[in-house]
Amino acid sequence: MIRQFLESLEDREKPLLGPNYWILKKCGLILPDNFLLKYLFLVIHLFGILFIISQYIELYVIRSDIDLVISNMMISMLSAVSVLKGDTFVFWQKQWRELIDYVTEADQFERDNSDAAKANTIDKYTAYCRKVSYCYWVLAFATCLAVIGAPFMNVLSTSSQNEITQNRTEVFSHIMSSWMPLDKYSSPGCWITVVWHIFTCIYESTVAAAYDSTAITIMVYFECKLSLLRIRCTEMLGINGQRFSDQDAEITIRQLHDIHIKVIKYSRLFNSVFSPVMFFYLLNCSLMLCASGYQLTSSTNTAQKLLLGEYLVFGVSQLFVFCWHSNKVLIKNENLMYGPFESNWCSTSVKQRKYVLFLSGQLSIKHVFTAGPFTNLTLATFVTILKGAYSYYTLLRK
């Protein structure tokens, strides 16, 4: 049954981005052409913004209680990032559609013009994208269930039952901390709050799963494209003793030159819509991970520790996956210019050697994904964020 569902997500017109495009449409990041559905999704995205505002209002209201502040920050920061992902995707809809169209077109070109070795590379990267996307979806929705189930687990635990008898305001532990214009500790306000929180949590996890899996798949595509481009560069002047005429070599090298120009162009386009979101995420990541770690070590409830542990794993995994794949693309970029000199350039004419020199100059142009204008998205950045989170954690513990 699961296999049939996953197979139904495949799209012949989008062999690489099929499942990602499906979930983008289902959660309204790719706006439909239907007028009513389009504005329904826009209203849903607006509710996400209103919820973030209510969380920060609540943060101001409870500012005197450090434990509540930390609990609010842990959820509200991740919520703000998820809503920002959805809103920026909708706002930059044209750029994202253009990027998806390029990836689909370029991926189809590689599939139609590849030998067995290149086809095997493409299949390997496609299978990898599926595994990463599906695992990320599972992790995102597991986090959603953990957040929704946390207060219910607290109610069922013995320690929570003891707190209920001591403090009336703890009779019902809400899923998330947010301000409401009604009494959220008594009926019907508590049930309205529960429905509101469950809806928002599902919305945010779906948007995060759709946005992040698509962004990761596009990163993997650039990595695959650069790998195939290097292989094409090694074969551009012939293989197994085969030799090209000056005219054929010029045509081949021009094609490789144009391919790399498009790779750089759309890498920069992707970075222009992705970098602001990652800057906001990295800005909050240290505090978010710190708050999760602090609550995890200070909590005495075993069930709550498990839920907080899953939340912490999701936060670290999300950051690591982006930094890891961005770092791999950077390495592929740096190694790309070796491709022309791994070809048979030594045994070619002077004219062809000049073409190789021109191509190597183009391939020396590199692009790295960034988090805003301040830092590159690399493994070094990942380690720096973890160090910062640990520093904040030790400060709170003291």
Give the pLDDT mean for 372-387. 87
Which helix (H) or strand (E) is 398 found in, with range? none
Give the pLDDT of residue 173: 64
Handedness of CA 365, 371, 374, 380 (dihedral sign): negative
Start-end of H helices in 337-378: 350-363
Q: What are phi and psi of 14, to 5 degrees?
A: -135, 75
- Is pLDDT above 70 for 168? no
Tens digit of each residue's pLDDT (9 = 90 or more) over 37-65: 999 999 999 999 999 898 888 888 888 87
At 303, list the tokens.
Answer: 């069930």
In this structure, the chain runs to a length of 398
Mind giving me the DSSP string for 156-223?
A: HSHHHHHHHHH-GGGSS--SS----SS-TTSTTHHHHHHHHHHHHHHHHHHHHHHHHHHHHHHHHHHH
- Is pLDDT above 60 for 226? yes
Give the pLDDT of residue 171: 47
- Is pLDDT above 50 for 166? no
State what percent of residues in the chain have pLDDT above 70. Answer: 88
Give the pLDDT of residue 130: 93
Cis previous bond, 188, omega within 30: yes
Give the pLDDT of residue 157: 60
Residue 160 banded pLDDT, cuts 50, 70, 90? very low
**Residue 50: count of CB within 10 angstroms of its CB:** 12
In angstroms, rounded to a whole number, what is the distance separating the alpha carbons of residues 136 and 344?
Answer: 43
- Is pLDDT above 70 for 156? no
Do 31 and 41 meet the contact criterion of CB atoms below 8 Å apart?
A: yes
**For 204-208, 284-288, 317-321, 331-335, which range has the lowest pLDDT when averaged over its residues?**
284-288
- Is pLDDT above 90 for 316? no
- Is pLDDT above 90 for 174? no
Do 201 and 175 meet the contact criterion of CB atoms below 8 Å apart?
A: yes
More confidently predicted of 155 and 355: 355
Handedness of CA 253, 256, 258, 261 (dihedral sign): negative
Do 321 and 132 meet the contact criterion of CB atoms below 8 Å apart?
A: yes
For residue 357, the Cα-to-chain-centroid distance in whole angstroms is 37
Q: What are phi and psi of 157, to 5 degrees?
A: -80, 155
At 1, list the tokens.
Answer: 């049954």
Tens digit of each residue's pLDDT (9 = 90 or more) over 252-280: 889 999 999 999 999 999 999 999 999 98
pTM: predicted TM-score of the whole model, two decimal places: 0.88
In angstroms, rounded to a whole number, what is the distance separating the alpha carbons of residues 74 and 176?
Answer: 10
